[in-house]
Amino acid sequence: MRAKIITIGDEILIGQIVDTNSAWLSSELNKCGIAVGEILSVSDNGDCISSCLDEALRDYELVLVTGGLGPTKDDITKQSLCSLFACGLKNDEASFEHNRAMLTQRGIPFTELNRCQSNVPEACTVLFNRNGTAPGMMFERDGHYLVCMPGVPYEMKTIFAEQLAPRLDKIFRLGAVYHKTMITTGMAESVLAATIERWETDLHEGLKLAYLPNPNGVRLRLSSYTLGKEEAEHAVEEAFRELGKIIPDNIIGYEGASVESAVADMLRERSYTLSVAESCTGGRIASRFTAMAGASDYFLGGVTAYTVAVKSEVLGVPQATISEYGVVSEPVARAMAEGVAALTGSDFAIATTGVAGPSGGTEQTPVGTVWMAVKTPWGTVAEVRVFNSEREVNIERASAYAMDMLRMQLKKAKA
């Protein structure tokens, strides 16, 4: 049982937008036991769409299409679908009523374009879109299925979860592709590979290992394509348990876990609170914590201290310390962490001060240099790193590193 994902839109081929839908869909399909064979992006030109969909529907049992819908680009896609399934258009009343009500509520005028959005090819089953105006559509041909969904990510996701997944479950007898991913941090890919070489060699032969590095660390994915579900689960659990003995300090968690979610779990567990004082990371650490639902359980707040004045006046870093050691220094990082903890009354605090780049570096403090401090109830620790990369990566790495320093402190407290 294999699927192909097709995204329609010149905006992808000219590099204007990044295709995040395919990654999300692949992940969901895999969870259902459907392997994705190919992901293809094509132009929103009628001929391309028709021939691609036709071919994909021949080769794959399931073809998921995103994009090519929406008030201003319905025409081409829906015409291609009508000709592919030899039918005309009909109006879907439920979608029509929903669209009119939704736009009225938002105070957006209901136009002719909106009216046309509830038209669908007669051959389709409508997949209701409660978050938007473009309904999803499902078609069948010789036991193969084609599903079209709008490209807006949260609309597509809701349609998939609420309308499509239950139908796929009924239609296909879903198999047992199995993946589990361990999230590690604090070890470069090559060092990690050398450290776990023997473990890798000894892996169950039905498992496949992949290394997935990013600025926050390296993820290790174990996959089974051939074992039965229970055997796969068991082999993976066993392998990760062994790995836990080899790199105990570098494991953050599994799947969607991140250094911030690991920290959040540990803070919550003990009713600890956190605040942050950020210079070069500029709000990124606060933003990563508050992006998670329920952050108010432990996150009190933060100060983005971009200037010397904010560092001294708001966070209470002594002017003399700044003059003597410079803004990017251990004493300033420590004083920032302690200052924001005092200001907010938090148990823990993270602070960063550094040179994100591309300019602002000196010989002594090159671009990428970041001092990071973590204030805990049992003292403050500080470290410096030189993240010699571009601005965005430096900010991301410094944020991850500083949060991981807190994770290590919390781990120590727990032990």
Site for a copy of itself in 334-363 (CB under 8 A): 343-345, 356-360
3-state secondary structure of 384: strand
Within its chain, how far is the Cα of 357 from the centroid?
25
Cβ 10 to a copy of itself shortest distance, Å: 6
| Burial letters 166-202, b for 16+ CB under 10 A, else e | eebeeebeeeebbbbbbbbbbbeeeebeeebeeeeee
Interaction of residue 59 with a copy of itself, rule CB under 8 A? no
Q: Residue type at 9?
A: G
Backbone phi and psi for residue 37, each to the nearest 5 degrees, phi listed first: -85, -40
Per CB under 8 A, the segment of 258-266, 288-296, 331-339, 371-379 that binds a copy of itself is 288-296
Nearer residue to a copy of itself within complex by CB, 108 or 246:
108
Output the six-digit token pair for 132: 């938007």
Specify the residue for token string 């780049």: 357
Between CA 413 and CA 415 the distance in angstroms is 6
Per CB under 8 A, the segment of 39-47, 83-91, 166-174, 236-244 that binds a copy of itself is 39-47
Q: Name which position in 269, 291, 319, 324 contacts a copy of itself (CB under 8 A).
A: 291
∠ CA 228-159-132, rounded to 5°? 165
Phi-psi region of 320 (alpha: psi -120 to 50; beta: other; left: phi over 0): alpha
Cβ 307 to a copy of itself shortest distance, Å: 5
Between CA 1 and CA 133 the distance in angstroms is 31
Phi-psi region of 327 (alpha: psi -120 to 50; beta: other; left: phi over 0): alpha
Cβ 116 to a copy of itself shortest distance, Å: 10
**Contact in structure between 32 and 62 (CB atoms under 8 Å):** no
3-state secondary structure of 378: coil
Cβ 117 to a copy of itself shortest distance, Å: 8
Interaction of residue 210 with a copy of itself, rule CB under 8 A? yes
- Over the window 226 to 265, marking each residue x when it contacts a copy of itself by CB under 8 A and - when it does not, the resulting string is ----------------------------------------
Cβ 137 to a copy of itself shortest distance, Å: 20
Nearer residue to a copy of itself within complex by CB, 139 or 289:
289
Site for a copy of itself in 11-30 (CB under 8 A): 11-20, 22-30
Q: Residue type at 231?
A: E
Please state, in angstroms and as integers, the Cα–Cα distance from residue 47 to each residue in 40, 68, 80, 132, 410, following that order: 16, 13, 8, 27, 58
Site for a copy of itself in 379-398 (CB under 8 A): 389-393, 395
Interaction of residue 66 with a copy of itself, rule CB under 8 A? no
Interaction of residue 304 with a copy of itself, rule CB under 8 A? yes
Cβ 415 to a copy of itself shortest distance, Å: 26
Q: Name which position in 148, 232, 276, 349 contacts a copy of itself (CB under 8 A).
A: 276
Cβ 84 to a copy of itself shortest distance, Å: 19
Interaction of residue 135 with a copy of itself, rule CB under 8 A? no
Interaction of residue 193 with a copy of itself, rule CB under 8 A? yes
Interaction of residue 161 with a copy of itself, rule CB under 8 A? no
Nearer residue to a copy of itself within complex by CB, 23 or 320:
23
Interaction of residue 8 with a copy of itself, rule CB under 8 A? no
Per CB under 8 A, the segment of 215-223, 239-247, 368-376, 403-411 that binds a copy of itself is 215-223
What's the DSSP call for residue 173? -
Specify the residue for token string 């708001």: 314
Between CA 389 and CA 401 the distance in angstroms is 14
Backbone phi and psi for residue 381, each to the nearest 5 degrees, phi listed first: -115, 155
Q: Name which position in 145, 289, 371, 401 contacts a copy of itself (CB under 8 A).
A: 289
Interaction of residue 119 with a copy of itself, rule CB under 8 A? no
The site that binds a copy of itself (CB under 8 A) totals a number of residues, namely 107
Interaction of residue 176 with a copy of itself, rule CB under 8 A? no
